Amino acid sequence: MLLSRTKKATVTKRYPAIEMLGWLGVIVTLTAYGLVSLEVISPSDILYPALNLFSAIAIATETYIHRDFQPFWLNIVWGAIALFSLSRILILIHS
Domain residue limits, the chain: 17-93
CA angle 50, 26, 61 (to 5 degrees): 80
pTM (two decimals): 0.83
Of the pLDDT bands very low, low, confident and very high (cuts 50, 70, 90), residue 1 is: very low
Q: Is the pLDDT of residue 16 over 50?
A: yes
How far, in Å, CA of 20 to CA of 16, rounded? 6
CA 54/CA 22 separation, integer angstroms: 11
In this predicted model, which residue has the larger pLDDT, 15 or 81?
A: 81
The answer to whether residue 12 scores a pLDDT higher than 90 is: no
